[in-house]
C-alpha cells in the first residue's frame, strides 16, 4: 500500500512547495472526524461539538413577568392615580395573583405579572402615598413587561448538530432545563519532543545542550485549545526508538504531535520512524516562514503531525497546521485565525515566495491601531514572540513591507483558541 492510498493528495516524497492554504486543505481532507461521543453535564461542554439538534423545551420567558422593579397597574386609574391593592409587593417566585381595574401593586424584576395588570411603572416614575400611587407621567400599555415566549417559543430550533458550545449557548440550554448534552469527544493529543541536545527544564545541563521549550509550550497550547492531553514525552534522535515512541503514543491518542526531526537533514528521523513503525507518511514543504518543513502521516487510527524543533516555527506550525488537523478531528472547517488589516509603522525586510508570520505589537496612535514589527525575525528567537501582541501575516506574493502600508494581523488569543 502506498502513502497516497492512505493520505489523499499527499506524495510519499517531499512535495513541491505548497501554499499555506493548500497545506491546510490537504491535511483537513486526510483527517476523519472523531465519531466517539459522550453525554456530559452542560457546564463541562464549552468548546465541544454537539452531536444532535437541540430544540426549545419551553417558552422563554415561561410566563409574563416584570422587566424591572416598580408597580404593576391595572388600566382604569383616574388621572394617573391608582389605589394600592396591597402593601406587600409581588416577588420573583411568587404564585399568580390578580388586581382589579384602577389598582396597583408593587412588583420586583422577574416576578409574574398579576392577572388584570397590563403595564408596569418604574419606581422612580411614581409617587407612593399611604394607600395610593400617583404617576409622574404617562405609562403606555404593555410597558416594562416581558411577555411569555417573546424570547423563545417551545419547539424553536436552538443549537444545530455540529455547532460548538460556548458559554452563551450553555446559558440558553440551561434556561431550557437541559442538564446534559451529547457531544463529540475532545481530541486526545500526545506530544513528543525530539533531539539529543534537549534537556528537561529544571534538570542538569551542559554547555552544548538546551532546555526543552517546545514540550511545555505545546502542552499549554493543547490545554488552551481544549484538547485531552494523554501523554508528553521526549526521544533522542534514533529511528528505532522514535518509531517505538510514536507507535506507543498512537495507541492512546487521536493526534501525535512530534516536535523536531521533520526536515530533510541527516538527523531528521520523524518520517522514517513513522514508516518503520508501520505507518504511512509524507514530507511536506510549505511556503511558510517560519515552519517550512512538516511531516504528516497515519498509524492505526491516529494522525501524526511532525513540525519543526525551532520554537517559533513550532508555534507557527501549531496555529496553522495543528489548527487544521484539530478542526478536522472535531468535524469543523479548517481555517487560519481571523485577521484584520492594520497600518505598519516600521519596515519588515523580506523576500516574496513564502507567507511570513512575524511577531508584532499593537499601539494606539492618533485614535487608531498601528502595528510594529518586533526584532529581527527567526525561527528560534523567542524574545520578540514573548513581547508581541500577535502575529503579522504577510502574503507570499509580497516583498518588503514599508512603514505606512497595511498588514494583516491576528492577536494570540484568536490564534490559540480553536
Q: Residue for cell digits 485531552?
A: 228
Residues 6+ apart with CB under 8 A from 248: none
Q: Residue for cell digits 408596569?
A: 120
Residues in the chain: 418
Copy the grid coordinates of residue 233: 514525552
CA distances (Å), 55 to each of 52, 59, 153, in order? 10, 11, 10
Say what the pLDDT of residue 7 is.
57
Q: Which residues pair with 392 in a beta bridge?
A: 358, 409
Q: Which residues pair with 104 in a beta bridge?
A: 73, 84
* Beta strand pairing call for 355-365 and 340-344: unpaired
pLDDT digits (tens, 9 = 90+) for 384-397: 999 999 999 999 99
Cα(248)–Cα(352) distance, rounded to whole angstroms?
41
Cα(38)–Cα(124) distance, rounded to whole angstroms?
51
Spatial contact of 271 and 337, defined as CB atoms under 8 Å apart: no
Spatial contact of 407 and 373, defined as CB atoms under 8 Å apart: no
Spatial contact of 318 and 189, defined as CB atoms under 8 Å apart: no
3-class SS of residue 23: helix
Q: Determine phi and psi for 248, rounding to 5 degrees.
A: -65, -40
Delimit the domains of the chain by residue range. Answer: 3-36+186-329, 49-58+152-184, 65-146, 340-416
Cα(242)–Cα(48) distance, rounded to whole angstroms?
32
Q: Determine phi and psi for 196, rounding to 5 degrees.
A: -65, -25
- Which fold is adopted by the domain 65-146? Molybdopterin biosynthesis moeA protein; domain 3 (2.170.190)
CA distances (Å), 315 to each of 145, 221, 287, 343, 379, in order? 52, 9, 16, 24, 9
Cα(217)–Cα(26) distance, rounded to whole angstroms?
26
Spatial contact of 183 and 51, defined as CB atoms under 8 Å apart: yes
- Kindly report the CATH number that applies to the domain delimited by 340-416: 2.40.340.10
Q: Which residues pair with 84 in a beta bridge?
A: 104
Cα(411)–Cα(391) distance, rounded to whole angstroms?
6
Q: pLDDT tens string for the chain (418 positions)?
A: 233 344 555 544 445 799 999 999 999 999 999 999 999 999 999 999 999 999 999 999 999 999 999 999 998 667 789 999 988 999 999 998 999 999 999 999 999 999 999 999 999 999 998 899 999 988 999 999 999 999 999 999 999 998 999 999 999 999 999 999 999 999 999 999 999 999 999 999 999 999 999 999 999 999 999 999 999 999 999 999 999 999 999 999 999 999 998 887 777 899 999 999 999 999 999 999 999 999 999 999 999 999 999 999 999 999 999 999 999 999 999 999 999 999 999 999 999 999 999 999 999 888 789 999 997 666 668 999 999 999 999 999 999 999 999 999 999 999 998 8
Say what the pLDDT of residue 130 is.
86
Query: Quick one: which of 120, 121, 84, 78 has its CA closest to 99?
Result: 84
Copy the grid coordinates of residue 27: 491535511
Say how many C-beta atoms besides its own lie within 10 A of residue 241's C-beta.
14
CA angle 322-282-410, nearest 5°? 25
CATH superfamily of 3-36+186-329: MoaB/Mog-like domain (3.40.980.10)
Q: Which helix (H) or strand (E) holds 415?
A: helix 412-416
* Beta strand pairing call for 302-307 and 293-299: antiparallel
CA distances (Å), 320 to each of 38, 61, 89, in order? 28, 43, 58
Cα(7)–Cα(34) distance, rounded to whole angstroms?
17
Spatial contact of 32 and 300, defined as CB atoms under 8 Å apart: no
CA angle 366-371-372, nearest 5°? 115
Copy the grid coordinates of residue 414: 484568536
Say what the pLDDT of residue 79 is.
78
Q: Residue for cell digits 410566563?
A: 63
Say how many C-beta atoms besides its own lie within 10 A of residue 338's C-beta.
9
Say how many C-beta atoms besides its own lie within 10 A of residue 1's C-beta.
6
Amino acid at each position: 500500500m502506498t502513502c497516497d492510498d492512505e493520505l489523499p493528495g499527499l506524495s510519499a516524497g517531499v512535495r513541491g512547495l505548497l501554499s499555506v492554504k493548500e497545506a491546510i486543505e490537504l491535511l483537513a481532507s486526510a483527517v476523519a472526524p472523531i465519531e466517539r461521543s459522550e453525554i456530559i453535564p452542560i457546564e463541562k461542554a464549552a468548546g465541544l461539538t454537539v452531536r444532535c439538534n437541540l430544540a426549545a423545551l419551553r417558552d422563554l420567558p415561561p410566563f409574563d413577568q416584570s422587566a424591572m422593579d416598580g408597580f404593576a397597574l391595572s388600566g382604569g386609574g383616574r388621572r394617573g392615580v391608582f389605589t394600592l391593592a396591597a402593601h406587600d409587593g409581588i416577588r420573583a417566585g411568587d404564585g399568580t395573583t390578580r388586581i382589579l381595574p384602577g389598582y396597583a401593586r408593587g412588583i420586583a424584576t422577574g416576578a409574574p405579572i398579576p392577572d388584570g395588570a397590563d403595564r408596569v411603572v418604574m419606581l422612580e416614575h411614581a409617587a407612593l402615598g399611604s394607600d395610593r400611587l400617583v404617576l409622574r407621567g404617562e405609562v403606555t400599555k404593555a410597558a416594562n413587561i416581558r411577555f411569555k415566549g417573546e424570547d423563545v417559543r417551545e419547539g424553536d430550533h436552538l443549537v444545530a448538530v455540529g455547532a460548538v458550545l460556548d458559554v452563551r449557548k450553555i446559558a440558553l440550554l440551561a434556561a431550557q432545563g437541559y442538564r446534559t448534552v451529547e457531544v463529540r469527544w475532545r481530541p486526545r493529543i500526545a506530544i513528543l519532543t525530539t533531539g539529543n541536545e534537549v534537556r528537561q527544564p529544571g534538570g542538569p545541563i551542559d554547555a552544548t545542550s538546551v532546555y526543552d521549550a517546545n514540550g511545555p509550550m505545546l502542552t499549554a497550547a493543547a490545554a488552551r485549545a481544549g484538547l485531552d492531553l494523554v501523554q508528553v514525552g521526549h526521544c533522542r534522535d534514533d529511528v528505532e526508538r522514535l518509531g517505538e515512541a510514536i507507535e506507543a503514543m498512537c495507541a492512546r491518542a487521536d493526534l501525535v504531535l512530534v516536535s523536531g526531526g521533520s526536515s530533510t537533514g541527516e538527523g531528521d528521523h520523524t518520517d522514517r520512524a513513522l514508516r518503520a513503525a508501520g505507518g504511512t507518511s509524507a514530507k511536506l514543504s510549505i511556503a511558510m516562514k517560519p515552519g517550512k518543513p512538516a511531516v504528516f502521516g497515519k498509524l492505526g487510527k491516529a494522525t501524526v503531525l511532525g513540525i519543526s524543533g525551532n520554537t517559533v516555527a513550532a508555534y507557527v506550525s501549531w496555529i496553522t497546521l495543528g489548527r487544521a488537523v484539530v478542526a478536522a478531528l472535531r468535524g469543523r472547517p479548517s481555517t487560519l485565525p481571523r485577521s484584520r488589516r492594520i497600518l505598519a509603522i516600521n519596515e519588515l525586510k523580506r523576500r516574496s515566495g513564502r507567507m511570513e508570520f512575524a511577531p508584532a505589537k499593537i499601539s494606539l496612535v492618533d485614535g487608531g491601531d498601528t502595528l510594529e514589527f518586533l526584532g529581527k525575525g527567526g525561527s528560534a528567537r523567542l524574545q520578540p514572540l514573548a513581547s508581541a501582541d500577535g502575529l503579522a501575516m504577510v502574503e507570499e506574493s509580497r516583498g518588503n513591507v514599508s512603514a505606512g502600508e497595511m498588514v494583516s494581523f491576528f492577536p494570540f488569543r484568536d490564534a490559540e483558541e480553536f
